[in-house]
């Protein structure tokens, strides 16, 4: 995709803001919109132009959306804002929101009727990956629009992979979230167990992260837990949304996934005690509560 092609970007959350800034740095012409305009100030200072979402869509050769929930995407593209009416034939819609495979297929079908290409492209890597430009982007859709949009996505991704037709990007992200959710429970349980056993938890993380137990959750989020840093790289409420999508799809396919079911229950408990806007590493608080322990004398309590 030539850098003369115009890029539209809607959604400046924890990850979307950094992702868009990488695109601007690559020299693309970028028009942007976000519900909270102040979150776009830095992007505007870098050269992006802030416009109404309808105008962003109308001026886009490729429009990226990075929103919170499937319903937000549906409202933005098909219903309330109905940006599908403003996208030009031949343009490409890239949905980076972690959403449902069924919505990805609906967007694909309705866009195709209007001569627009739609690809679902959820990402993994959290706030660190977004800031460093090292996200993994999992794509569902047709090869031709994928190849056109791939160059832009490479601005913030270390891997951009077409996984199949419409919805397959979302199915791949579901697999990613299953691994993360189950691993997060394991990391927190290990730290609680290690604390009870009297181990130095910083040494514990450093020792086992280089072996078979190593993971992003242990290496990056484990130290945040010990520092009582529960700021979001990815919101708990969004993670719960992802798990609800997975469990819905599992029921449709007659699958029993006990690990993700348990993880969902634990995160629901965290949400019930005010943890919705915390980062996923705040699962530590739920396990501390269940086990009546605290890993730090100054630990944040429910």
In order, the DSSP letters of the chain are --TTSEEEEE--STTHHHHHHHHHHTT-EEEEE-SSGGGGHHHHHTT-EE--HHHHHHT-SEEEE--SSHHHHHHHHTSSS-GGGTSPTT-EEEE-S---HHHHHHHHHHHHHTT-EEEE--EESHHHHHHHT-EEEEEES-HHHHHHHHHHHTTSEEEEEEEESTTHHHHHHHHHHHHHHHHHHHHHHHHHHHHHTT--HHHHHHHHTTTTT--HIIIIIHHHHHTT----SSBHHHHHHHHHHHHHHHHHTT---HHHHHHHHHHHHHHHTT-TTSBGGGHHHHHHHHHT--SSTTPPP-
Q: Which of 112, 173, 196, 294 is catalytic?
A: 173
Residue 173 catalytic? yes
**Residue numbers annotated as active site:** 173
């Amino acid at each position: 995709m030539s850098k003369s092609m115009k890029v539209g970007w809607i959604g400046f959350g924890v990850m979307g803001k950094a992702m868009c800034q990488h695109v601007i740095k690559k020299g693309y012409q970028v028009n942007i919109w976000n519900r909270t305009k102040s979150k776009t100030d830095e992007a505007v200072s870098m050269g992006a132009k802030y416009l109404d979402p309808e105008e962003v869509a109308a001026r886009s050769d490729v429009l990226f959306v990075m929103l919170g929930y499937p319903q937000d995407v549906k409202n933005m593209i098909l219903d309330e804002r109905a940006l599908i009416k403003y996208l030009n034939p031949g343009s490409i819609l890239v949905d980076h929101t972690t959403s449902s495979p069924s919505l990805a297929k609906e967007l694909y079908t309705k866009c195709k009727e209007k001569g627009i290409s739609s690809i679902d492209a959820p990402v993994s890597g959290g706030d660190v990956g977004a800031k460093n430009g090292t996200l993994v982007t999992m794509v569902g859709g047709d090869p031709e629009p994928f190849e056109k949009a791939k160059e832009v996505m490479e601005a913030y991704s270390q891997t951009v992979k077409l996984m199949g037709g419409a919805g397959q990007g979302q199915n791949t992200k579901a697999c990613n979230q299953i691994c993360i959710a189950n691993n997060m429970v394991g990391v927190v349980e290990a730290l609680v167990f290690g604390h009870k056993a009297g181990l130095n938890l910083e040494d514990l993380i450093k020792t086992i992260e280089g072996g078979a137990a190593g993971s992003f959750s242990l290496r990056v989020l484990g130290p945040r837990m010990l520092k009582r840093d529960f700021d979001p790289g990815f919101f708990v409420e969004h993670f719960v949304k992802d798990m609800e999508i997975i469990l819905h799809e599992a029921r449709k396919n007659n699958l029993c996934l006990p690990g993700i079911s348990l993880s969902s229950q634990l995160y629901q408990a965290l949400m019930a005690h005010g943890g919705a806007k915390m980062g996923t590493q705040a699962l530590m608080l739920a396990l501390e509560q269940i086990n009546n322990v605290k890993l730090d004398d100054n630990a944040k309590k429910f």
